[in-house]
Chain A
């Protein structure tokens, strides 16, 4: 099974309304922490678990308006998605909270900008900007993350502009 097929298989097993405690990522609201299963730890999750916990514990009004902390649903779904998308050749993404408790996952490398907006469990909008051509793509995703897995895979390719290569 390819990594793309694994992503599809992993997510298509779940109905959109499935409770978050059925994910591998366990959520304990009483301690305000997102905890990742040890068996699924990878370099991304190890690097990001502290950030997840920080974002789910943001103070109300953190954005200067009525911003809420990142919801456990969004955080745990994002963590689960990142476990499935993990590629050891890529650095962990940036995590950016939304004012409404949503969460955006971002990579800006190898002349691609990939932004994955986690609006809820199985409610994702992903965009990709090709810095070399200016082409922009947008995907609305629920249970099939095949296309996103393909984008992540393509992030590995070194696409440094010719001028940068010559400079080296």
Chain B
């Protein structure tokens, strides 16, 4: 799907990013903690590829419990951002339903020449805007 910014996603809507506790978490000696790696906030590298997310409002509207939906069956963590915090970083959010997840979406770079690349500032901004949605024990957000 070509990158776009979905007008149906409101500023206060929550955008969820699943976190794998085994592979997205590193030990940070500077901060003396385990925390989420910036790699968890990276888009895929293919043409028009973005960063996969779940749109909370779609899950709720479908009558599902979002905290359970995003960790079933294998995941034990997730973070969430407001849509406005994502857009303020120069990123777009769109729906991209897939066969096993109708609530799936993507976050893309708004820059036409860099839809599939986030700058360090954008990754850092996502890390700063993230809040636990389904927390992982003893892991810091940043």
Contacts and interface: CB of A to CB of B under 8 A. Distances in A.
Contacts of B52: 63-66, 99
A98 B70 CA distance: 19
B23 A63 contact: yes
Interface stretch (A7-15, A20-28, A79-87, A104-112): A104-112
A102 interface: yes
Interface stretch (B2-10, B27-35, B59-67, B80-88): B27-35
Nearest to B74: A64
Interface string A38-70: 000000000000000001001000111110000
Given A65-B52, A106-B37, A138-B120, A96 B44 contact: no
A132 B119 CA distance: 21
Interface in B34-80: 37-40, 42, 44-46, 49, 51-52, 70, 74-75
Nearest to A59: B74
Contacts of A104: 37-39, 42
Q: What size tier do the contact residues of chain A reach?
A: 20 to 34
B38 A115 contact: yes
Given A98-B39, A99-B44, A117-B42, 19 more contacts: A62-B20, A62-B23, A64-B18, A96-B24, A98-B44, A99-B42, A100-B45, A100-B49, A102-B45, A106-B37, A106-B39, A108-B26, A108-B30, A110-B30, A115-B38, A115-B39, A127-B120, A136-B120, A138-B120
Nearest to B20: A63
A96 B40 CA distance: 8
Contact of B39 (A66, A97, A110, A112): A97
A117 B30 CA distance: 20
Interface of A: 55, 58, 62-66, 94, 96-100, 102, 104, 106, 108-113, 115, 117, 119-120, 127, 129, 131, 136, 138
Given A64-B75, A108-B28, A96 B37 contact: yes
A102 B119 CA distance: 16
A61 to B, nearest CB: 8
25 contacts: A62-B20, A63-B23, A64-B18, A94-B26, A96-B23, A96-B37, A97-B39, A98-B39, A98-B44, A99-B42, A100-B45, A102-B45, A104-B37, A108-B26, A108-B27, A110-B30, A112-B30, A113-B28, A113-B30, A119-B45, A120-B45, A127-B120, A129-B120, A136-B124, A138-B120
